[in-house]
Chains A and B, each alone.
Chain A
Amino acid sequence: MTSDMILPFYQALTEDVNALSAQVPALATDTLQDIRRKALERFSTIGLPTLKTEAWRYTNIQRYLKEFPYELLTTAAAVAEDVVNSTAIPELDCYRVVLVNGHLQADQSTLPEGKGITIGAMSANTTATGFVTYFNEQQHLAAESMAQLNTALFADGLYIELAANTVVDKPIHVVNVYSCTAHAFIQPRHLWVLNRNAAATIIETSIHPETATIAFANSVLETVVMENAELWHYNIQQGAESFREVHTTAAQQHKDSRYHHFNFTLPNTPFTRNNLSVALKGSHTETNLNGLYIASKHQHVDNHTFMDHIMPDCNSNELYKGVLLDSSNGVFTGKILVHQEAQKTNAFQQNNNLLLGTKADINSQPQLEIYADDVKCSHGFTAGQFSEESMFYLRSRGIGEDAAKALMVNAFSHDITDAVKVPALQHFLQEQIAEIMNN
């Protein structure tokens, strides 16, 4: 196919998305091809989100999709070792998984090995039990057109499956490299399954090394945390001016499982939308959702979260904190749905913001829908500036205004960073925050 036959990407999205499907390689099984076809149909029906779409009221994604003439990119490019190494978290003893545009780079990776650990490309694992059972299984994805777009047109991603009782001894650092020589729309697709009693810590970071070409990532990750399994999942979004991102995580938890999700969004990606949903499909689960977003300049950061309490006796705790500098824009949505059967639910949610830029702004909306009667739910929202008393105290000790602000931002975010269980990562994040504030 020659390039002049291809509709411009945005036009194809809005007018003829089928034209794009010819650009992605076929998937391995008929079932998958069928899933893809259905997603394509669904996307054609619902279309791109608009400001009238309830879940996108404060985020005009079309503006960002139109911003550059993107092309759908489904392949990897070679990425220099020093680029990959630059993403290392100092002092962190970990396994490393390098993905370029979603494609596993085995020779640049150090994968965990051993009984019960499956880790590899999605495309190489389409017949694995976990894959067959759980791929695209999560209901929450159906409502989100960007997720449908991913299902319809993804190329590859990371598949992890831990067999029952398998505990990975070190954190797994997943390095998402987005690399392109022309403006590109890239759609990785991942699935991680932790079977009964399995446990892992997975740290994701991303890098887009090119500054002249824009990468727009629309990634989807499904995580499955089976009975009594425990997943610590850290997503570190260290941004770049030349990067845009829609990141969808759909998690499901089964009986007695624990899921700890951390999302750090740091400057300077102009547009970030994180969809995070957790479906509680078993009772006695624990869920912790922690978020910290620090935005500067004209950044737009939208965290859209959904705690779906389906079963009784589950606890969820959500804390998102934002530091909005300059003219940045924050959006937070925290939906908590407690089904009628989900008695004895504890669901707490809090969103606190520091509005430091004169033109900074936050839109925060809790959405609580509660159909059970024996539940404890709460939500709260704050937006404010630094306490003048505290600032004066610090300055009266010789600490300059900028350093004082850095200390205060560190203090503001400390309940999130303190909850980070990997010391090297915690230290790294604290340093990052200090560095951002000192610039």
Chain B
Amino acid sequence: MLTIKNLHAEVEGKKILKGINLEINKGEMHAIMGPNGSGKSSLASVLAGRDNYTVTEGEVWFNGKNLLDMAPEDRAREGVFLAFQYPVEIPGVSNLNFLKTALNEIRAYKGLPALEAREFLKLTKEKQQLVDFHSNLMNRSLNEGFSGGEKKRNEIFQLAMLDPQLAILDETDSGLDIDALRIVSNGVNKLRDGEKSFVVITHYQRLLEYIIPDFVHVLYNGRIIKTGTKELALELEERGYDWLKEELHLKESV
């Protein structure tokens, strides 16, 4: 579904991604871990098409299409979804209107008619329950005055509404208390239908107790330096990242 080959990217002249390789197949759950500043959000941004990043080398293929050639909205319409680490607040754009616009733009791209008001509301209700997203937040401005947890839930709610093929979750767990974490994880697990693929970026192993990954990758200094299964996450939790860094230095100095 997604193939990343030797991806290099920089921002403001600073090299951030230094040769990422990653293959994600239908239905898989990948976790990306790594210390602060290693480039996890940058990778997510490049995939979603944030334009202050310049790709200097490499390729990204999504369902046989060159993802890097597409505008951000077309990537979303093709089925890429990014749950932001820091969702923005947009005063004056109602959550509801925003979602309706997004959903219908995606449908139009696929040649589908706009959803009838009734169908839209039905879908909204159903997906709200999935992440316990309060309906009184729906008529409010997008993320405005939302708590950290409400913003993150809104991201997952949007994910459920827009039904992408590939969902990238950037530190969706940060800022969530344990109850909220459980709700959000449950929501994500319910969305796992064997078709959708996930990339879960996280700092903590904690999230991976709820969302069980098929693969765990460690991103460090712009590169994936180790790939394993969920046991790797546990090991990282116990030992931190230093042993990996040392391993890397040993390898590089050889």
Given that A407-B97, A407-B101 are known contacts, is A399 also in contact with B73, CB under 8 Å in the complex?
yes
Once the chains bind, are A399 and B92 in contact (CB under 8 Å)? no
Q: Residues of B within 8 Å of A, CB-based: how many?
A: 31
Chain B residue numbers with a CB within 8 Å of A407 are 90, 93, 97-98, 101
Which of A392, A396, A400, A410 is packed against the most chain B CB atoms within 10 Å? A396
Residue from B49, B92, B93 within 8 A of A396 (CB atoms): B49
Closest A residue to B97 using CB positions: A407
The contact string, 1 if C-beta is below 8 Å from chain A, for chain B 36-71, is 000000000000111110000000000000000001
Residues of chain A lying within 8 A (CB to CB) of residue B33: none
A356 CB to nearest B CB, Å:
16
List chain B residues, Cβ under 8 A from A400: 73, 105
In the complex, B87 has a CB within 8 A of chain A: yes
CB distance from A26 to the nearest CB of B (A): 52
> Does B228 lie at the interface of the complex (its beta carbon under 8 Å from any beta carbon of A)?
no
Contact with B along A269-295 (1 / 0, CB 8 A): 000000000000000000000000000
Instruction: Encode B80-98 as 1/0 by CB contact (under 8 A) with A.
Output: 0110100110111100011
Given contacts A397-B158, A398-B76, contact A410 B92 (CB under 8 A): yes
Decide yes or no: A411 and B76 within 8 Å by CB, A397-B102, A399-B102 being known contacts: no
Which of A389, A404, A411 is B91 in contact with, Cβ under 8 Å?
A: A411
Q: Is the CB of B101 within 8 A of A414?
A: no
Instruction: Give CA–CA (A419, B44) in the complex, Å.
Output: 40
Find out whether the CB atom of A398 lies under 8 angstroms from the CB atom of B77. Answer: yes
On chain A, the number of residues with a Cβ less than 8 Å from chain B's Cβ atoms is 24
Given the known A-B contacts A389-B88, A392-B50, A412-B92, are A397 and B71 also in contact in the complex, defined by CB atoms under 8 Å?
no
Q: How far is B93's CA from A407's CA once the two chains are assembled, in angstroms?
A: 6
Chain A, 199-250, CB within 8 A of any chain B CB: none
A390 at interface, CB cutoff 8 A: yes
Q: How far is the CB of A292 from chain B (nearest CB, A)?
A: 13
Question: Which 10 residue pairs of A and B lie closest in terms of their CB atoms, listed nearest first?
Answer: A411-B92, A414-B92, A398-B76, A397-B102, A395-B72, A398-B106, A411-B93, A395-B73, A393-B88, A398-B77
Q: Interface on A for B, CB 8 Å cutoff? A: 387-390, 392-401, 403-404, 407-408, 410-415
**CB<8 Å pairs between A and B, sample of 22:** A388-B52, A390-B88, A390-B90, A392-B48, A392-B50, A393-B87, A394-B93, A395-B71, A395-B73, A396-B81, A396-B84, A397-B76, A397-B158, A397-B162, A398-B77, A401-B71, A407-B90, A408-B93, A411-B90, A411-B91, A411-B141, A412-B92
